[in-house]
Structure 1
Amino acid sequence: MTTAPSENVAPVRGAGKDVVLQLDDLSVSYGNIAAVKGLSMTVYTGEIVCLIGSNGAGKSTTLRTISGLLKPKHGDVVFKGRKINGIPGHEVVKLGICQSPEGRKIFQRMTVSENLDLGAFTRNDTEQIAQDRERVLELFPRLRERINQKAGTMSGGEQQMLAVARALLGNPSLLLLDEPSMGLAPVLVDVIFETIQTIRDQGTTVLLVEQNALAALEIADYAYVLESGHLNMEGPAAQLLNDDSVAAAYLGG
Protein backbone atom coordinates (compact mmCIF):
# COMPACT_ATOMS: atom_id res chain seq x y z
CA MET A 1 0.00 0.00 0.00
CA THR A 2 1.39 3.41 -0.98
CA THR A 3 0.80 6.63 0.86
CA ALA A 4 -0.03 9.81 -1.05
CA PRO A 5 2.56 12.55 -0.56
CA SER A 6 1.61 15.28 1.84
CA GLU A 7 0.37 18.49 0.25
CA ASN A 8 2.45 20.39 2.80
CA VAL A 9 5.80 19.04 1.60
CA ALA A 10 7.89 21.96 0.33
CA PRO A 11 9.13 21.70 -3.25
CA VAL A 12 12.78 20.75 -3.62
CA ARG A 13 14.88 23.68 -4.75
CA GLY A 14 16.12 23.26 -8.31
CA ALA A 15 13.91 20.26 -9.07
CA GLY A 16 13.76 19.88 -12.83
CA LYS A 17 16.10 22.85 -13.38
CA ASP A 18 19.66 23.07 -14.62
CA VAL A 19 22.46 24.49 -12.53
CA VAL A 20 23.59 27.76 -14.10
CA LEU A 21 26.30 28.70 -11.62
CA GLN A 22 28.19 26.76 -8.97
CA LEU A 23 30.73 28.25 -6.59
CA ASP A 24 32.77 25.50 -4.93
CA ASP A 25 34.78 26.41 -1.82
CA LEU A 26 35.67 29.79 -3.35
CA SER A 27 38.32 31.91 -1.64
CA VAL A 28 39.49 35.30 -2.94
CA SER A 29 42.14 37.59 -1.49
CA TYR A 30 43.49 41.09 -2.06
CA GLY A 31 47.15 40.52 -1.29
CA ASN A 32 47.22 39.09 2.23
CA ILE A 33 43.64 40.16 2.98
CA ALA A 34 41.07 37.39 2.58
CA ALA A 35 37.83 38.84 1.20
CA VAL A 36 35.90 35.64 0.46
CA LYS A 37 36.55 32.50 2.50
CA GLY A 38 35.38 29.09 1.31
CA LEU A 39 32.10 30.20 -0.27
CA SER A 40 29.94 27.52 -1.88
CA MET A 41 26.63 28.40 -3.53
CA THR A 42 24.39 27.33 -6.39
CA VAL A 43 22.18 29.25 -8.81
CA TYR A 44 19.54 27.37 -10.81
CA THR A 45 18.10 28.50 -14.11
CA GLY A 46 15.11 30.82 -13.79
CA GLU A 47 15.91 31.98 -10.27
CA ILE A 48 16.55 35.32 -8.68
CA VAL A 49 19.21 34.59 -6.07
CA CYS A 50 20.32 37.35 -3.72
CA LEU A 51 23.55 37.72 -1.81
CA ILE A 52 23.18 39.97 1.21
CA GLY A 53 25.50 41.13 3.96
CA SER A 54 27.06 44.23 5.47
CA ASN A 55 29.74 46.40 3.86
CA GLY A 56 32.97 44.47 3.42
CA ALA A 57 31.26 41.08 3.59
CA GLY A 58 32.68 40.02 0.21
CA LYS A 59 29.57 40.39 -1.94
CA SER A 60 31.03 42.55 -4.73
CA THR A 61 34.26 40.55 -4.65
CA THR A 62 32.21 37.43 -5.34
CA LEU A 63 30.57 39.02 -8.40
CA ARG A 64 33.87 40.35 -9.70
CA THR A 65 35.36 36.87 -9.42
CA ILE A 66 32.46 35.31 -11.30
CA SER A 67 32.91 37.97 -14.00
CA GLY A 68 36.58 37.13 -14.46
CA LEU A 69 37.85 40.43 -13.05
CA LEU A 70 39.46 38.67 -10.08
CA LYS A 71 41.09 35.25 -9.82
CA PRO A 72 40.21 32.98 -6.93
CA LYS A 73 42.97 31.94 -4.56
CA HIS A 74 41.21 28.62 -4.07
CA GLY A 75 38.08 26.88 -5.29
CA ASP A 76 36.15 26.97 -8.54
CA VAL A 77 33.63 29.04 -10.47
CA VAL A 78 31.59 26.68 -12.65
CA PHE A 79 29.19 28.08 -15.27
CA LYS A 80 26.86 25.62 -17.00
CA GLY A 81 29.19 22.77 -16.08
CA ARG A 82 32.38 24.49 -17.26
CA LYS A 83 35.08 25.70 -14.89
CA ILE A 84 35.77 29.33 -15.81
CA ASN A 85 38.51 30.22 -13.31
CA GLY A 86 41.02 32.57 -14.91
CA ILE A 87 39.04 33.22 -18.09
CA PRO A 88 39.34 36.94 -19.03
CA GLY A 89 36.32 39.12 -18.40
CA HIS A 90 35.46 39.72 -22.06
CA GLU A 91 35.46 35.97 -22.67
CA VAL A 92 33.17 35.46 -19.66
CA VAL A 93 30.74 37.90 -21.28
CA LYS A 94 30.79 35.82 -24.47
CA LEU A 95 29.90 32.74 -22.42
CA GLY A 96 26.72 34.44 -21.20
CA ILE A 97 27.53 36.24 -17.93
CA CYS A 98 27.06 40.02 -17.89
CA GLN A 99 27.31 42.40 -14.95
CA SER A 100 25.78 45.72 -14.04
CA PRO A 101 28.51 46.94 -11.68
CA GLU A 102 28.32 48.77 -8.38
CA GLY A 103 28.28 52.50 -9.02
CA ARG A 104 26.84 51.98 -12.55
CA LYS A 105 30.12 52.71 -14.39
CA ILE A 106 28.34 54.09 -17.43
CA PHE A 107 30.28 55.99 -20.10
CA GLN A 108 29.20 59.47 -19.11
CA ARG A 109 30.41 61.36 -22.19
CA MET A 110 28.68 58.95 -24.54
CA THR A 111 24.99 58.96 -25.38
CA VAL A 112 22.49 56.43 -24.10
CA SER A 113 22.49 54.87 -27.56
CA GLU A 114 26.28 54.55 -27.61
CA ASN A 115 26.30 52.97 -24.14
CA LEU A 116 23.79 50.38 -25.33
CA ASP A 117 25.90 49.69 -28.42
CA LEU A 118 28.89 48.95 -26.19
CA GLY A 119 26.83 46.47 -24.21
CA ALA A 120 26.72 44.30 -27.34
CA PHE A 121 30.41 44.67 -28.17
CA THR A 122 31.09 40.91 -28.18
CA ARG A 123 28.19 40.10 -30.51
CA ASN A 124 27.73 40.08 -34.29
CA ASP A 125 24.13 38.81 -34.55
CA THR A 126 22.79 42.11 -35.87
CA GLU A 127 19.11 41.21 -36.07
CA GLN A 128 19.02 39.76 -32.56
CA ILE A 129 20.90 42.77 -31.19
CA ALA A 130 18.22 45.03 -32.66
CA GLN A 131 15.51 42.90 -31.02
CA ASP A 132 17.30 42.96 -27.67
CA ARG A 133 17.76 46.71 -27.93
CA GLU A 134 14.04 47.13 -28.48
CA ARG A 135 13.36 44.85 -25.52
CA VAL A 136 15.42 46.93 -23.10
CA LEU A 137 13.83 50.14 -24.36
CA GLU A 138 10.45 48.60 -23.60
CA LEU A 139 11.70 47.64 -20.14
CA PHE A 140 13.02 51.16 -19.56
CA PRO A 141 10.89 53.65 -21.57
CA ARG A 142 12.82 56.55 -20.02
CA LEU A 143 15.92 55.45 -21.93
CA ARG A 144 14.04 55.70 -25.22
CA GLU A 145 13.17 59.28 -24.33
CA ARG A 146 16.84 59.99 -23.55
CA ILE A 147 18.35 57.91 -26.37
CA ASN A 148 20.53 60.70 -27.80
CA GLN A 149 21.30 62.36 -24.46
CA LYS A 150 24.75 62.22 -22.88
CA ALA A 151 24.54 59.56 -20.19
CA GLY A 152 26.33 61.68 -17.60
CA THR A 153 23.59 64.33 -17.70
CA MET A 154 20.85 61.91 -16.61
CA SER A 155 19.55 61.34 -13.09
CA GLY A 156 20.94 58.59 -10.88
CA GLY A 157 17.89 56.43 -11.47
CA GLU A 158 18.13 56.82 -15.23
CA GLN A 159 21.83 55.96 -15.12
CA GLN A 160 21.03 52.79 -13.15
CA MET A 161 18.45 51.83 -15.77
CA LEU A 162 21.10 52.33 -18.43
CA ALA A 163 23.64 50.18 -16.56
CA VAL A 164 21.17 47.29 -16.37
CA ALA A 165 20.06 47.77 -19.98
CA ARG A 166 23.66 47.83 -21.19
CA ALA A 167 24.33 44.53 -19.41
CA LEU A 168 21.24 43.00 -21.01
CA LEU A 169 22.55 43.92 -24.47
CA GLY A 170 25.22 41.28 -23.93
CA ASN A 171 22.36 38.73 -24.11
CA PRO A 172 23.26 37.05 -20.80
CA SER A 173 21.80 33.82 -19.52
CA LEU A 174 23.09 34.97 -16.09
CA LEU A 175 22.79 38.63 -15.13
CA LEU A 176 24.86 39.90 -12.20
CA LEU A 177 23.49 43.00 -10.49
CA ASP A 178 25.68 44.78 -7.95
CA GLU A 179 23.79 47.18 -5.66
CA PRO A 180 21.19 48.35 -8.23
CA SER A 181 19.26 50.37 -5.62
CA MET A 182 22.26 52.33 -4.33
CA GLY A 183 21.52 56.04 -3.99
CA LEU A 184 18.04 55.85 -5.49
CA ALA A 185 14.81 57.37 -4.20
CA PRO A 186 12.34 54.79 -2.84
CA VAL A 187 9.98 55.13 -5.81
CA LEU A 188 12.83 54.34 -8.21
CA VAL A 189 13.95 51.42 -6.06
CA ASP A 190 10.48 49.95 -6.56
CA VAL A 191 10.77 50.43 -10.33
CA ILE A 192 14.20 48.77 -10.48
CA PHE A 193 13.11 45.74 -8.44
CA GLU A 194 9.91 45.29 -10.41
CA THR A 195 12.01 45.34 -13.58
CA ILE A 196 14.40 42.72 -12.16
CA GLN A 197 11.41 40.42 -11.73
CA THR A 198 10.35 41.09 -15.31
CA ILE A 199 13.86 40.29 -16.54
CA ARG A 200 13.70 36.94 -14.72
CA ASP A 201 10.22 36.26 -16.10
CA GLN A 202 11.55 36.88 -19.62
CA GLY A 203 14.10 34.10 -19.17
CA THR A 204 17.26 35.59 -17.65
CA THR A 205 18.60 34.14 -14.39
CA VAL A 206 19.64 36.84 -11.90
CA LEU A 207 22.26 36.92 -9.15
CA LEU A 208 21.66 40.04 -7.10
CA VAL A 209 24.00 41.70 -4.59
CA GLU A 210 22.09 44.22 -2.54
CA GLN A 211 22.38 46.11 0.76
CA ASN A 212 18.65 46.78 0.73
CA ALA A 213 18.07 43.31 2.12
CA LEU A 214 14.33 43.76 2.55
CA ALA A 215 13.75 44.66 -1.10
CA ALA A 216 16.06 41.89 -2.28
CA LEU A 217 14.46 39.17 -0.15
CA GLU A 218 10.98 40.22 -1.24
CA ILE A 219 11.70 39.42 -4.90
CA ALA A 220 14.31 36.64 -4.61
CA ASP A 221 13.72 32.90 -4.71
CA TYR A 222 16.76 31.98 -2.65
CA ALA A 223 19.25 33.91 -0.55
CA TYR A 224 22.77 33.61 0.81
CA VAL A 225 24.02 35.74 3.71
CA LEU A 226 27.72 36.63 3.82
CA GLU A 227 29.49 37.80 6.96
CA SER A 228 33.16 38.80 6.83
CA GLY A 229 33.70 36.67 3.75
CA HIS A 230 32.07 33.55 5.20
CA LEU A 231 28.71 32.07 4.30
CA ASN A 232 26.68 32.66 7.44
CA MET A 233 23.24 31.48 6.38
CA GLU A 234 21.25 30.39 3.33
CA GLY A 235 17.70 29.42 2.53
CA PRO A 236 14.54 30.31 0.62
CA ALA A 237 14.22 34.09 0.55
CA ALA A 238 10.78 34.04 2.15
CA GLN A 239 12.18 31.99 5.03
CA LEU A 240 15.09 34.39 5.64
CA LEU A 241 12.72 37.33 5.40
CA ASN A 242 10.97 36.00 8.51
CA ASP A 243 14.12 34.94 10.36
CA ASP A 244 14.65 36.90 13.57
CA SER A 245 18.46 36.94 13.30
CA VAL A 246 18.34 38.20 9.70
CA ALA A 247 15.77 40.82 10.65
CA ALA A 248 17.92 42.04 13.54
CA ALA A 249 21.11 42.23 11.48
CA TYR A 250 19.89 43.40 8.06
CA LEU A 251 16.23 44.43 8.14
CA GLY A 252 16.22 46.85 11.04
CA GLY A 253 14.23 44.39 13.12
Structure 2
Amino acid sequence: MTSLEKQSPTARGAGREPILELRDLHVSYGSIAAVQGLSATVYPGEIVTLIGSNGAGKSTTLRTISGLLRPKSGEVVFNGRKINGIPGHEVVKLGICQSPEGRKIFQRMSVSENLELGAFTRNDTAKIAEDRERVLDLFPRLRERINQKAGTMSGGEQQMLAVGRALLGNPKLLLLDEPSMGLAPVLVDLIFETIQTIREQGTTVLVVEQNALAALEIADYAYVLESGHLATEGLAADLLDDDSVAAAYLGG
Protein backbone atom coordinates (compact mmCIF):
# COMPACT_ATOMS: atom_id res chain seq x y z
CA MET A 1 0.00 0.00 0.00
CA THR A 2 2.90 2.33 0.74
CA SER A 3 6.43 2.67 -0.50
CA LEU A 4 7.79 3.63 2.91
CA GLU A 5 10.33 0.85 2.84
CA LYS A 6 11.98 2.60 -0.11
CA GLN A 7 12.12 5.98 1.62
CA SER A 8 14.63 7.40 4.05
CA PRO A 9 13.44 7.88 7.64
CA THR A 10 13.61 11.66 7.20
CA ALA A 11 11.31 11.46 4.15
CA ARG A 12 8.80 9.26 5.95
CA GLY A 13 6.55 12.01 7.22
CA ALA A 14 7.23 14.64 4.57
CA GLY A 15 4.14 16.71 3.89
CA ARG A 16 1.91 14.77 6.29
CA GLU A 17 0.57 15.40 9.76
CA PRO A 18 1.01 12.53 12.22
CA ILE A 19 -2.00 10.74 13.62
CA LEU A 20 -0.12 10.00 16.87
CA GLU A 21 2.83 11.62 18.60
CA LEU A 22 4.50 10.59 21.83
CA ARG A 23 6.59 13.45 23.16
CA ASP A 24 9.24 12.70 25.79
CA LEU A 25 6.91 10.27 27.54
CA HIS A 26 7.72 9.14 31.09
CA VAL A 27 5.51 6.54 32.80
CA SER A 28 6.08 5.01 36.23
CA TYR A 29 4.53 2.39 38.48
CA GLY A 30 5.17 3.96 41.86
CA SER A 31 8.93 4.39 42.07
CA ILE A 32 9.58 2.08 39.11
CA ALA A 33 10.20 3.91 35.84
CA ALA A 34 8.63 1.84 33.05
CA VAL A 35 8.98 4.28 30.13
CA GLN A 36 11.69 6.93 30.13
CA GLY A 37 11.72 9.73 27.62
CA LEU A 38 10.04 7.96 24.73
CA SER A 39 9.29 10.00 21.62
CA ALA A 40 7.63 8.32 18.64
CA THR A 41 5.42 9.20 15.70
CA VAL A 42 2.79 7.31 13.72
CA TYR A 43 1.53 8.59 10.38
CA PRO A 44 -1.85 7.78 8.81
CA GLY A 45 -1.92 4.55 6.82
CA GLU A 46 1.13 3.05 8.49
CA ILE A 47 1.79 -0.13 10.39
CA VAL A 48 4.24 0.86 13.12
CA THR A 49 5.67 -1.65 15.58
CA LEU A 50 7.19 -1.39 19.03
CA ILE A 51 9.54 -4.28 19.66
CA GLY A 52 11.73 -5.25 22.58
CA SER A 53 12.14 -7.84 25.29
CA ASN A 54 9.87 -8.42 28.29
CA GLY A 55 9.80 -5.40 30.58
CA ALA A 56 10.92 -2.99 27.87
CA GLY A 57 7.87 -0.76 28.35
CA LYS A 58 5.92 -1.73 25.23
CA SER A 59 2.58 -2.61 26.82
CA THR A 60 2.90 0.31 29.23
CA THR A 61 3.20 2.61 26.24
CA LEU A 62 -0.01 1.26 24.69
CA ARG A 63 -1.90 1.48 27.98
CA THR A 64 -0.81 5.10 28.30
CA ILE A 65 -1.99 5.92 24.78
CA SER A 66 -5.33 4.26 25.60
CA GLY A 67 -5.83 6.38 28.70
CA LEU A 68 -5.51 3.45 31.11
CA LEU A 69 -2.32 4.93 32.59
CA ARG A 70 -1.35 8.54 33.14
CA PRO A 71 2.16 9.60 32.22
CA LYS A 72 4.38 11.15 34.85
CA SER A 73 5.42 13.69 32.22
CA GLY A 74 5.40 14.14 28.48
CA GLU A 75 2.52 14.19 26.04
CA VAL A 76 0.33 11.86 24.00
CA VAL A 77 -1.01 13.77 20.99
CA PHE A 78 -3.69 12.29 18.73
CA ASN A 79 -4.70 14.14 15.58
CA GLY A 80 -3.12 17.29 16.97
CA ARG A 81 -4.89 17.08 20.34
CA LYS A 82 -3.18 16.33 23.64
CA ILE A 83 -5.06 13.38 25.14
CA ASN A 84 -3.08 12.22 28.17
CA GLY A 85 -5.34 12.51 31.18
CA ILE A 86 -8.49 11.75 29.16
CA PRO A 87 -10.36 8.66 30.52
CA GLY A 88 -10.05 5.47 28.51
CA HIS A 89 -13.66 5.36 27.32
CA GLU A 90 -13.31 8.90 25.99
CA VAL A 91 -10.11 7.92 24.16
CA VAL A 92 -12.10 5.17 22.44
CA LYS A 93 -14.65 7.78 21.30
CA LEU A 94 -11.81 9.78 19.74
CA GLY A 95 -10.89 6.81 17.57
CA ILE A 96 -8.23 4.78 19.42
CA CYS A 97 -9.17 1.16 20.15
CA GLN A 98 -6.97 -1.53 21.67
CA SER A 99 -6.80 -5.29 21.53
CA PRO A 100 -5.07 -5.93 24.86
CA GLU A 101 -2.35 -8.34 25.83
CA GLY A 102 -3.93 -11.61 26.92
CA ARG A 103 -7.06 -10.88 24.82
CA LYS A 104 -9.29 -10.04 27.83
CA ILE A 105 -12.41 -11.34 26.13
CA PHE A 106 -15.61 -11.87 28.12
CA GLN A 107 -15.47 -15.64 28.37
CA ARG A 108 -19.05 -16.31 29.51
CA MET A 109 -20.50 -14.18 26.74
CA SER A 110 -20.99 -15.25 23.15
CA VAL A 111 -18.87 -14.16 20.22
CA SER A 112 -21.74 -11.96 19.09
CA GLU A 113 -22.07 -10.30 22.51
CA ASN A 114 -18.32 -9.64 22.69
CA LEU A 115 -18.44 -7.94 19.32
CA GLU A 116 -21.43 -5.85 20.38
CA LEU A 117 -19.48 -4.60 23.40
CA GLY A 118 -16.75 -3.37 21.06
CA ALA A 119 -19.25 -0.84 19.73
CA PHE A 120 -20.40 0.35 23.16
CA THR A 121 -19.57 4.01 22.47
CA ARG A 122 -21.41 4.11 19.12
CA ASN A 123 -25.03 4.71 18.10
CA ASP A 124 -24.66 4.57 14.29
CA THR A 125 -26.61 1.32 13.98
CA ALA A 126 -26.27 0.83 10.24
CA LYS A 127 -22.50 1.43 10.27
CA ILE A 128 -22.09 -0.90 13.26
CA ALA A 129 -23.83 -3.66 11.30
CA GLU A 130 -21.57 -2.95 8.32
CA ASP A 131 -18.45 -3.08 10.50
CA ARG A 132 -19.62 -6.31 12.11
CA GLU A 133 -19.89 -7.91 8.67
CA ARG A 134 -16.43 -6.63 7.82
CA VAL A 135 -15.04 -8.28 10.96
CA LEU A 136 -16.80 -11.56 10.20
CA ASP A 137 -15.41 -11.44 6.67
CA LEU A 138 -11.93 -10.89 8.07
CA PHE A 139 -12.35 -13.76 10.54
CA PRO A 140 -14.70 -16.40 9.06
CA ARG A 141 -14.18 -18.60 12.13
CA LEU A 142 -15.98 -16.02 14.21
CA ARG A 143 -18.96 -16.21 11.90
CA GLU A 144 -18.99 -20.00 12.32
CA ARG A 145 -18.96 -19.59 16.11
CA ILE A 146 -21.09 -16.47 16.41
CA ASN A 147 -23.33 -17.88 19.19
CA GLN A 148 -20.60 -19.89 20.95
CA LYS A 149 -19.36 -18.89 24.40
CA ALA A 150 -16.07 -17.08 23.85
CA GLY A 151 -14.30 -18.94 26.64
CA THR A 152 -14.80 -22.29 24.88
CA MET A 153 -12.86 -21.24 21.78
CA SER A 154 -9.20 -21.87 21.01
CA GLY A 155 -6.53 -19.28 21.78
CA GLY A 156 -6.29 -18.30 18.13
CA GLU A 157 -10.04 -17.82 17.84
CA GLN A 158 -10.05 -15.73 21.00
CA GLN A 159 -7.32 -13.54 19.55
CA MET A 160 -9.40 -13.05 16.41
CA LEU A 161 -12.30 -12.04 18.64
CA ALA A 162 -10.17 -9.55 20.59
CA VAL A 163 -9.04 -7.87 17.37
CA GLY A 164 -12.56 -7.96 15.95
CA ARG A 165 -14.01 -6.43 19.10
CA ALA A 166 -11.51 -3.56 18.84
CA LEU A 167 -12.45 -3.01 15.19
CA LEU A 168 -16.11 -2.66 16.18
CA GLY A 169 -15.08 0.57 17.89
CA ASN A 170 -14.41 1.96 14.38
CA PRO A 171 -10.83 3.00 15.19
CA LYS A 172 -8.77 5.50 13.30
CA LEU A 173 -5.81 3.99 15.18
CA LEU A 174 -5.82 0.32 16.19
CA LEU A 175 -3.49 -0.72 19.03
CA LEU A 176 -2.52 -4.39 19.10
CA ASP A 177 -0.72 -5.72 22.17
CA GLU A 178 1.10 -9.02 21.55
CA PRO A 179 -1.39 -10.37 18.98
CA SER A 180 0.71 -13.49 18.30
CA MET A 181 1.25 -14.49 21.93
CA GLY A 182 0.71 -18.21 22.52
CA LEU A 183 -0.43 -18.97 18.99
CA ALA A 184 0.64 -21.79 16.69
CA PRO A 185 2.84 -20.64 13.76
CA VAL A 186 0.05 -21.07 11.19
CA LEU A 187 -2.22 -18.80 13.24
CA VAL A 188 0.58 -16.28 13.73
CA ASP A 189 0.84 -16.02 9.94
CA LEU A 190 -2.92 -15.57 9.68
CA ILE A 191 -3.03 -12.83 12.31
CA PHE A 192 -0.24 -10.86 10.65
CA GLU A 193 -1.78 -11.24 7.21
CA THR A 194 -5.02 -9.89 8.68
CA ILE A 195 -3.19 -6.90 10.20
CA GLN A 196 -2.00 -6.03 6.71
CA THR A 197 -5.55 -6.33 5.39
CA ILE A 198 -6.84 -4.05 8.17
CA ARG A 199 -4.31 -1.42 7.14
CA GLU A 200 -5.27 -1.84 3.48
CA GLN A 201 -8.88 -1.16 4.50
CA GLY A 202 -7.85 2.22 5.90
CA THR A 203 -6.99 1.73 9.57
CA THR A 204 -3.62 2.83 10.95
CA VAL A 205 -2.04 0.18 13.19
CA LEU A 206 0.41 0.36 16.10
CA VAL A 207 1.46 -3.14 17.14
CA VAL A 208 3.51 -4.28 20.14
CA GLU A 209 5.23 -7.60 19.56
CA GLN A 210 7.85 -9.91 21.03
CA ASN A 211 7.89 -11.78 17.72
CA ALA A 212 10.13 -9.09 16.26
CA LEU A 213 10.73 -10.86 12.96
CA ALA A 214 7.04 -11.19 12.15
CA ALA A 215 6.36 -7.61 13.20
CA LEU A 216 9.20 -6.13 11.15
CA GLU A 217 8.16 -8.10 8.09
CA ILE A 218 4.76 -6.34 7.94
CA ALA A 219 5.60 -2.95 9.46
CA ASP A 220 6.58 0.25 7.72
CA TYR A 221 8.46 1.70 10.67
CA ALA A 222 9.73 0.35 13.99
CA TYR A 223 10.81 1.55 17.40
CA VAL A 224 13.01 -0.71 19.54
CA LEU A 225 12.58 -0.30 23.29
CA GLU A 226 15.11 -1.41 25.87
CA SER A 227 14.40 -1.08 29.61
CA GLY A 228 12.00 1.77 29.01
CA HIS A 229 14.32 3.68 26.71
CA LEU A 230 14.27 4.03 22.94
CA ALA A 231 17.24 1.98 21.77
CA THR A 232 16.87 2.57 18.03
CA GLU A 233 14.30 3.32 15.37
CA GLY A 234 14.05 3.14 11.61
CA LEU A 235 12.31 1.76 8.59
CA ALA A 236 11.31 -1.81 9.37
CA ALA A 237 13.06 -3.14 6.27
CA ASP A 238 16.30 -1.50 7.39
CA LEU A 239 16.06 -2.92 10.92
CA LEU A 240 15.55 -6.41 9.48
CA ASP A 241 19.02 -6.04 7.95
CA ASP A 242 20.60 -4.45 11.03
CA ASP A 243 23.11 -6.85 12.60
CA SER A 244 22.68 -5.49 16.14
CA VAL A 245 18.89 -5.75 15.97
CA ALA A 246 19.16 -9.23 14.50
CA ALA A 247 21.51 -10.37 17.26
CA ALA A 248 19.34 -8.95 20.04
CA TYR A 249 15.81 -9.66 18.79
CA LEU A 250 15.80 -11.90 15.73
CA GLY A 251 17.81 -14.84 17.01
CA GLY A 252 20.99 -13.73 15.25
Report the TM-score, using the length of structure 2 for normalisation.
Answer: 0.96
- 1:174 equivalent in alignment to 2:176: no
- Matches of 1:127 and 1:172, distance apart in 2: 16
Matches within 5 A, 1:129-144: 129-144=128-143
Show CA shifts across 1:48-67 (max 9, x none): 00000000000000000000
Partner of 1:103: 102
Partner of 1:42: 41
Show CA shifts across 1:175-220 (max 9, x none): 0000000000000000000000000000000000000000000000
Partner of 1:56: 55
Q: Could you list the runs of 5+ residues in structure 2 that have no partner in the other structure?
A: 1-5
- Matches of 1:10 and 1:76, distance apart in 2: 26
- Displacement of 1:10: 4.3
- Matches of 1:208 and 1:13, distance apart in 2: 18
- Matches of 1:129 and 1:14, distance apart in 2: 32
The size of the alignment, in residue pairs, is: 246
- Displacement of 1:19: 0.6
Q: Bigger radius of gyration, 1 or 2?
A: 1
Change in CA separation of 1:54 and 1:184 when aligned onto 2, cut-off 3 Å: same
- Matches of 2:95 and 2:236, distance apart in 1: 25
Code of the residue aligned with 1:31 in structure 2: it is G
Code of the residue aligned with 1:120 in structure 2: it is A
- 1:188 equivalent in alignment to 2:177: no
- Matches of 2:240 and 2:121, distance apart in 1: 38
- Matches of 2:251 and 2:91, distance apart in 1: 37
SS at match of 1:19: coil
- Matches of 1:207 and 1:15, distance apart in 2: 20
Show CA shifts across 1:139-197 (max 9, x none): 00000000000000000000000000000000000000000000000000000000000
Code of the residue aligned with 1:103 in structure 2: it is G
Code of the residue aligned with 1:158 in structure 2: it is E
SS at match of 2:24: strand
Matches within 5 A, 1:1-253: 10=8, 12-253=11-252
SS at match of 1:172: coil
Show CA shifts across 1:13-58 (max 9, x none): 0234331000000000000000000000000000000000000000
- Matches of 1:219 and 1:129, distance apart in 2: 28
SS at match of 2:19: strand
- Matches of 2:66 and 2:84, distance apart in 1: 10
Partner of 1:4: none
- Displacement of 1:9: 7.2
- Matches of 1:74 and 1:10, distance apart in 2: 30
- Matches of 2:110 and 2:15, distance apart in 1: 43
Q: Could you list the runs of 5+ residues in structure 1 that have no partner in the other structure?
A: 1-7
Code of the residue aligned with 2:193 in structure 1: it is E
- Matches of 2:243 and 2:138, distance apart in 1: 35
Percent of residue pairs bearing the same amino acid type: 85
SS at match of 2:121: coil
